[in-house]
Amino acid sequence: MFALGRDRLRAQQEINDRLGVPAGTLPARFFDEPVTIGAHRGAVLDRAEFTAAVEVLRRQWHAC
- What's the 3-state SS for 1-64? CHHHHHHHHHHHHHHHHHHCCCCCCCCCHHHHCCCCCCCCCCCCCCHHHHHHHHHHHHHHHHHC
Give the per-residue pLDDT at 32: 94
- Tell me the CA distances in angstroms from 39 to 7, 12, 35, 47, 50, one per residue in order: 34, 32, 9, 20, 20
The better pLDDT of the pair 40, 12 is held by 40
User: pTM (2 decimals)?
Assistant: 0.57
pLDDT digits (tens, 9 = 90+) for 15-55: 878 877 677 777 778 899 999 999 999 999 999 999 899 88
Check residue 58 and give its pLDDT.
82
The CB-side HSE value for 19 (13 A sphere, CA atoms) comes to: 9
Confidence (pLDDT) at 39: 97
- The predicted pLDDT at position 18 comes to 85
